Chain A
Amino acid sequence: DAKTTQPNSMESNEEEPVHLPCNHSTISGTDYIHWYRQLPSQGPEYVIHGLTSNVNNRMASLAIAEDRKSSTLILHRATLRDAAVYYCILRDVNNNDMRFGAGTRLTVKP
C-alpha cells in the first residue's frame, strides 16, 4: 500500500497558483518526499523532491511541514500543460521501496 494520501482530484484556473496536498504520517527519518507527474500516455516525470527544508526549482516549490507528516506541491502559475496526475511518493535513501498511490488528477481550466 502507498504510504501517502492525496485527494483524488483538484481543479484550478489557468495562471492561478495550485497547492497540491499530501499526507504521509508514517514517514521515517530516511524517507525523501518526491513528487512526479504523469501526462496522458506518457511516463511519470520527476517534479521535485526534498527531505526537511522547503525546495524550489524551475517547475515547482515543495513545502514540507515541520513534523514532516505532510507536504504541499506548489505550482505558482498553472498552465494547461500542467494538467496531469500528480504523485506524492516517499523514497527511502536505503532501498527501492517507492510505492505509487493513485495520485491527484489536476484539471486546469482556461
Chain B
Amino acid sequence: NAGVTQTPKFQVLKTGQSMTLQCAQDMNHEYMSWYRQDPGMGLRLIHYSVGAGITDQGEVPNGYNVSRSTTEDFPLRLLSAAPSQTSVYFCASSQGWGNQPQHFGDGTRLSIL
C-alpha cells in the first residue's frame, strides 16, 4: 500500500517555465489537497478536490491550476513559474473533512531561479 505518492521529489525551474507536479493515492479517497510550505512556516492550502471533476481554491491559489479527472490523481500545474513559488509542495488525501485524518506525501522540493 503506497499511500500518497508525489513526483518528482526535486525540481529546479527557470522563471517563466511551466510544469506539473504529480500526486497519486491508492486509498480510494475522495478528498485531495495541495499545500505549500515555506521555510519555518506551517502548510498553506493551495487547491483541493472533493471528488473527480470537482475542485476549489484554498488560501493561496494564484499561479496554480488543478484538475481531477480520476479519483486517484490530482496534478498541480504551475502556469508560469516565479521565484515566489519556490517552496516545498505537499499533496494529501482523506476520506472526508473534520473526522478523518489526512495522509500526506513526502513532498516535492521546487526551486525557481
Contact = CB atoms under 8 A, between A and B. Distances in A.
Interface of A: 2, 30-32, 34, 36, 41-46, 49, 51, 87, 91-96, 98-103
Contacts of B107: 41-43
- Interface size range of chain B in the complex: 20 to 34
Nearest to A48: B101
A49 B95 CA distance: 14
Contacts, number: 65
A94 B98 contact: yes
B48 A46 contact: no
Interface string B73-113: 00000000000000000101000111101111111000000
A32 B43 contact: no
A45 B98 CA distance: 16
A43 B105 contact: yes
Which label, helix, strand, loop or mixed, suits the secondary structure of the A interface? loop
A61 to B, nearest CB: 16
B58 interface: yes
Contacts of A41: 107
B33 A96 contact: yes
B45 interface: yes
B99 A93 contact: yes
A100 B43 contact: yes
A44 B98 contact: no
A102 B58 CA distance: 18
Given A43-B104, A43-B107, A96 B43 contact: no
A42 B106 contact: yes
23 contacts: A32-B98, A42-B106, A43-B92, A43-B104, A43-B105, A43-B106, A44-B43, A44-B90, A44-B102, A44-B104, A49-B99, A92-B97, A93-B96, A96-B31, A96-B33, A96-B56, A96-B58, A98-B33, A99-B42, A100-B35, A100-B43, A100-B44, A102-B42
A31 B98 contact: yes
A94 to B, nearest CB: 6
